[in-house]
Amino acid sequence: MTLSKSPKSSPHLKVLIRRTAIQKRVRQVARQITKDFKGQRVHLVGVLKGACIFLSDLAREINLETSLDFIAVSSYGARKESSGQVRVNKDLDSSIAGLNVILVEDILDTGLTVSYLRRILLQRRPKTLKVAALLDKPSRRIIKEIQADYAGFSIPDKFVVGYGLDFAEKYRNLKDVCVLCDPEITATPSEPASKSSRSKL
């Protein structure tokens, strides 16, 4: 995977995955889900906010009865490194008992968030629980057994934004996934947690 020239909006952004490649891969993932759950209903649970754009594109490509819900967690505090602590800020609206749940994430990084969410969702007795993640940074994984059942792209250890992913609430609306190359941003931020928006809600 090579980086190409920056979007005009910022010299600090380099396109890593173009919108056309994302569309194509989302369609393939949706086709696989449609095949795997043939004749059944699936219940997509999006992890706010990062997964919202991936989820809305994915949902429209799945050719099955599909329902949606959202959960919001915070995990990062002020740093780009995970604190290892995950907290639910907004829970699901309805029960998932007996449903084919697909947890939809923007990116699997350390795996701490998905590991925590899997644990709490399994306690609610879904019929099945799978994980769909647009991006995967396997080299960063702390919880080694966490894998996406449906993975979009494996990427190197770079901080990425766009297509739902943010830094300080910026860049979520970019159509491409871009690497954020601002040297000031790659330094460990020193501001207090309350100012950070690396948390998910």
Does residue 200 interact with ligand IMP by CB under 6 A?
yes
Continuous segment of H or E residues that includes residue 13: strand 13-17
Catalytic residue status for 157: no
Q: Which is nearer to ligand IMP, 38 or 195 (CB)?
A: 195
- In angstroms, the CA 178 to CA 31 distance is 25
Amino acid identity of residue 141, one-letter, is: R
Let me know the angle formed at the C-alpha of 167 by 163 and 172, rounded to the nearest 5 degrees.
25
Q: Which is nearer to ligand IMP, 118 or 200 (CB)?
A: 200
Strand, helix or coil for residue 138? helix
Q: Which is nearer to ligand IMP, 75 or 100 (CB)?
A: 75
Which x/- pattern, by CB under 6 A, does the window 108-137 give for ligand IMP? xxxxxx------------------------
β-pair partners for 12: none
Does residue 153 interact with ligand IMP by CB under 6 A?
no
**Considering 106, 109, 166, 176, which one is annotated as catalytic?**
109
Name the minimum Å distance from CB 161 to ligand IMP: 6
Using CA atoms, how far residue 73 sits from 81, 88, 156, 170, 177, in Å, is 16, 4, 24, 18, 22
Q: Which is nearer to ligand IMP, 37 or 51 (CB)?
A: 51
Among 59, 103, 160, 177, binds ligand IMP (CB under 6 A): 160
8 Å CB contact between 43 and 100:
yes
Among 92, 124, 159, 185, binds ligand IMP (CB under 6 A): 159
Pair of tokens at residue 48: 């706010």
List, by residue number, the catalytic residues.
109
Interface positions with ligand IMP (CB under 6 A)? 50, 75, 82, 105-113, 159-161, 165, 200
